[in-house]
Structure 1
Amino acid sequence: MLLSKQKAWLASFRKSVLYAFITLIITISITLFGIITYTNESTKDNSRRIFESSLWCALQLQIQSYRLLDYLINLDESTFPLKGEAFFEYDLLMSRIDLLREGEIGSLIRNFEEGRIVKHLNLINGELELLSFHISKLEQNDLSYLTSIIERIQRLQPKIDEFVSLVNKGSTDYINKEHKGFEQSLSAIQFLSMALLICLLLLSFFTVKALIELQKALKDGNKLKAGMQAVHEDKANMLAFIHQELRSPINAILGIAQTVKNAPSARSSTELSKHIEEAGDQLLQNIEMFSDLTQIETDGFSLLHTTDNLRKHVEACLTQFESQMTRKGLQGIVYIDPLLPKDITIDFNRFKKIIISLLQNALTHTPSGSISVQVRPSMLAIPLMTTPPVSTQETRMLQIAVKDTGLGMPGQLQDNLRMNPLLPQDDESILRRIGLNLALCHKLVKFMNGEIHFYNAPQKGCEFWVDVPYYVERDDTQIDKPEKVPNHQSCANKHVLIIEEDSHLAKVLSNQLATLDIKVTLFREGNIPSKEKLDAIILGNSTWLERNGFDMMEQWKKQGTPILSYSTDAIKQYGLHITPLSFPLLQSQIEKIVTQRFKQ
């Protein structure tokens, strides 16, 4: 306890010394700046200007007095009338006295010779003021005052000369004094500069010492971080234990559900077993999600790259939700861009978890409508830190787009997503704000050096885009070439009409058919091609079909046009003439059924 108090006192003392030292440096700097400002060149120039002006004005007074005296001596009767010339010369002389009595010059010379200069100047001014009456008489052509004026100016001349001498001496003393002041200021600047330099050196010493202590504190912080890492690892071990303990009973439940489903029983038992199986799968997925999140936080997470068929894994993700989507009446569809290679190298386990997380989010916010999964090449640049797992491979980017036509995400959830959940923060806070699915999705995308974006339209649905890198062999002939579909020559240049009110579903379905070189026309009210030959019709959900279906079906039957449909109403009513399609609409399913239909 005593040691702790001593450390606290020492820390407080050091802090006070540091503040006092910084205050001293600031004080010295301000003083130094003030002295430098006082002794700068402009101040020196101003002093010299005043000095020179005082000398100049004193000499001008002396010269002008001689000029006035000379002017008066040369006056005779022939020069009259004077026409104000005498007053002009007299005013010039008086103006010199005014310059010496006013302004900076007057303030300066008052201190010369202990006031003697001011006494002389006042005496000269008084004597000259008395001459104004005599000058006025001269202007009136009265020469009787001329001799008196000349004598008085001559008697005043020695005093003017003495005044000039005193000004000269005082100005010289003043400028010498200023020089001494400048020298003293320079000495003070040198002293303060040395003091400031010493203070800065001491401050540098204290700064280095503080940095050393900071480095020590950082080491202690790293030790604390290691301790926290150990706590996270303990948490991961606990979750792994829970995962291990729950796996066996859950697998047992799934096994029983599978047995009940396969055994001859009532339809309700089969449905119940499906629910049990789905719930078990969902529980296992959630446990694995928690486990992945914990591994990412404890730096125990790593990617396991494998090479496999891309389409197989993407379609498996949507097939996994077939029962849930069927119960909710949702329509799912998958599209794989043929520009992507057939086989790629990626961590398919984490790749599928990203798609599954986005699908679960879409299912949550879509009470009715359609959900699509599209995988296509990405336009984003390859991340700098991404390196292929094998030296013979090169890195490329693909984009996963999961779109739904539901209600859209709540505003609060959108705000939480825009707050960047990837920033370091408490795991519980992330899960509470954006949910388990999106939290894991964001973490996985970041870990795979990818990017995630979303767009939301209220009451119209939302779409997520995820761009992640994948790897292919450099000599892979599939790169940048459309994937070849078996027997697609039978579909080339065929014309198919799609009747579907859900524009989102119709658009993705047309993309699927485009991979088979099929020309697609999307139905709009009243635009059924009458002149063009239709090679097949795909009937979807449309109110138009209820109004005009019978007549059009008869016409298509007569023309021998193949009809494919996933509409339950159309299949029930015209089942004998329709090739049924089922959701989810997988690209492999569409290619197989369409190519077989066109071969017939």
Structure 2
Amino acid sequence: MAMHFMDNNRTAFTGVIICVVLVALISVWSLNAMLTDNIKVIVLNLGLCFVIIMAIFFILLKILDKYRANEMKSRNLNERMAAAAQIYYEFKEVDIINNTIRSVIDREDDEGELKDADGTEAQQHFYDYVNNEVEEHFKLQMKEFVDFSILGVLLEYRVAATTTFLTKEGKWLRARVVRCQQTQAGKVATFLWILEDISEERQQRDALIDVSNRVVAASKAKTAFLSTISNELRAPIDAVLGINDMILSETSEPQIVRYSESIRDASVDLLGMINDILDFSIIEAGKMEIVSKKYNLLELINDLVQTIKPQAEDKGLSFILDIDANTPKDLYGDGLRVKQIILNLLTNAVKYTIKGRIILTVASEKLDERHVGLHVSVKDTGQGIKDEDKSRLFVEFERIEEGRSSTVGGTGLGVTITQRLLELMGSNLEVESVYKLGSNFYFVLEQMVVHWEPIGDTVMPSIPVPENDSVLPHFISELPEVNMENGIKNNGDEESYLEALKVYASSVGKYIEEITEFLKADDLENATIKIHALKSTSRIIGAESIGELALALENAGKAGDKEKVENEVGGLLERCKALGQQLRPLLEPTASKEDAGDTGKPAISDEKLTEAYAKLRECAAACDSFGIEEVLAELGNYQLTEPQQGKMTDLSQAIDNFDFEKVSEILKEEK
């Protein structure tokens, strides 16, 4: 501020001197004009005086403009200094060589007087400040920080140094020293001393630390609780299972056997949930370890078959193995965890599949002379997963469509644990799913090979192929877009394949309409999502060529190539529309063998039909789509009249769209 004031005074003084000199010149010229009678000289002198006066006028204007500009700069600087004064508690320049201190920003104390240290001995000023202002626990730290002998050496190698301390008034301050000038010998000559009030910042930081500590403590408490309670619960459940096995071995009464089997099944389910919770708590605590050792892949698969096949058969499902005979039998890895991962996927497949097949596929890919990539896939013909629900698939303690099914239990941890275990082993779980058609969970796991002896044909399955008494209409095999053999393999059996074809015929028009509308709205992202769904459904029914074209357009959409999508999507949609029309007869009610009484299925009684309708109404009220489909599947075991069959078709289409109001409306007139 002082420097600017001196500059302004110097400019004004120079302007005054110039004006005085010019006035003196004008006076001399005017006197000279009066002493001469030459008119030309007089006119010339007057003209010269006019020019000089104008020059003086413009010089004065320039001086005034410069003064105003300097005044504006000074005002701006004062405003900035005032703003800085609101932030900085002190801002001083210290001369170490001369041991002097000068205030850069003056700040008022509590009584309104300016705190000014100018003229005092700098080192002593800092010592007095520490003794008078700094809280006792921070005095030693601050005395070392303001010691010039230490500070001078410190700033030779650093531009700035910072520390924080607490004052006796309870304020938190941040002290910062910034090197300004150095001597020719490299010694620090001057530095800036800055004090910043950080009390509010400290309070916010302490609050965040407190919240963070509480979150960590809560997480640790949750993990400890889950681990403890899981271990404590397993012992009594094991005891219940043991006593129940004794009951089963000692009694032959049908009623007691049924009760005992119910106890066993419920206990096994509960034990499985507890094991999931225990595994999850161990993973959350970071204590899950992968223990690698030699294991036999053939024995592992056989154990899985023995565990899953009875569960599948109890639900009327077929369990099919598709094992590559060239897969090495003896591998090195954590076989226990590999088995747990596959078992989790198979258990979920059985749980969410009402009818059809579960297919376990195991194959290998040679990576080098010591390692293979183990490809494992679990396919089902179950409900599938909606696109909007896929993001929730790996969320712990959350089950997809939990509110729509009262028959499916579990903790919602199976897939999450599977994903975490695969991550620990350097792999990742992938999912492909089409709603109402089924899901495919698969992963690739690198394993070391102990011996290259292959599994062989010991567990090789036979995938069903069409027979003479096929349930599939003959025209399916004649469709040029459809590979029926691959379609059956993808779905597990002919009945499931037929259902997949019906779903495709009923849904392809909706996909076409949605893709068209999204592209009209310039929404490439959502159009790409629907193209992906169209690709998956086409592949499942064996329409491989359509699936490949959809894949190419999906990749173009993901890359933002809108031009390619718009140019080629028309051909894709036309082919899909044509295939949907060719499959349309599958949705039309036709005379069946049941109507002719050729199948041997019993006619349904009025009591059974009334009971089924009551169950359907109950499931519709609870929005239980699984329950409705189970009842419809059970009714398929009976001969139905044409009106009854039409009603079942209407119910099936309504539940496909989750239109529970329509379901209730259809059942309203039935008692």
Normalising by the residue count of structure 1, what TM-score does the alignment of the two structures yield? 0.44
Between the two structures, name the one with larger relative contact order (CA 8 Å, sep ≥ 6): 1
Bigger proportion of residues as helix: 1
Structure showing greater Rg: 1
Normalising by the residue count of structure 2, what TM-score does the alignment of the two structures yield? 0.40
